[in-house]
Amino acid sequence: MSMWWSLHLRREAASVPLARRFLLGTMETAGVDPDISYDLSVALSEACANAVEHGGRPGAGEAGDADPGQAVDERSGQTNEQYRVTAYLDGEKCRIEVADSGPGFPVRRTLRTAAHPSAGQPSDSHLPARQPSPGGVACAAPPGEPPSIMAESGRGLCLIEELADHVTFGNRPGRGAVVSFDKVLKWREGALLMVS
């Protein structure tokens, strides 16, 4: 058995806990281990916060018609204040995708494997820790050091990379950024979706 859901949320701070609670409720009902649920909910919160903060089109609010923080869809001329969260649970893993309509990432980020992969997952030990992948960028912090406490941003993407097994940061040409991450699931005894 598998399940998926998709939410279209307003780019407002109040949408972040809503998405997190929706995910936690789904995982609790399905019988996912609470530690896995917590890791995924924190990663989702960071991805949603990023979409709320950076997910509008460049120049939003400059035309005078939109309030600051609203994005204007150049094709329709209407404000675009939404982002999308989609989650898939399929017995072995959970995949979450957060897509916005902002300018995207300045440099394409590529697939990353967490520093501590789950059992049965391939390790990226052949890659130097926190080094850029070909065509991508890694977290801003040097290996073994947390991001600066003085930095105004940048810690959320690093946190997602640490909490998930696989992470992809990408751009949809002309349509915004996509953060996609997955994690192998552990199940409570008698879970509804547990692999047979």
Query: What average pLDDT does this structure show over 19-31?
Result: 94
Cβ pair 186, 26 in contact under 8 A: no
Q: What is the pLDDT of residues 131-146, one digit of tens each?
A: 333 334 345 444 445 5
Question: Is 171's pLDDT higher than 80?
Answer: yes
Mean pLDDT of all residues belonging to the chain: 75
CA distance 165 to 119: 10
Topology (CATH level 3) of domain 3-184: Heat Shock Protein 90 (3.30.565)
User: Percent of the chain scored above 70 by pLDDT?
Assistant: 61
The confidence band for 121, taking pLDDT boundaries of 50, 70 and 90, is very low
Residue 88: pLDDT band (50, 70, 90) is very high
Under the banding of pLDDT at 50, 70 and 90, the label for residue 195 is low
Residue 120 has pLDDT above 50, yes or no: no
How confident is residue 16, by pLDDT bands cut at 50, 70 and 90?
Answer: very high
Domain borders along the chain are 3-184
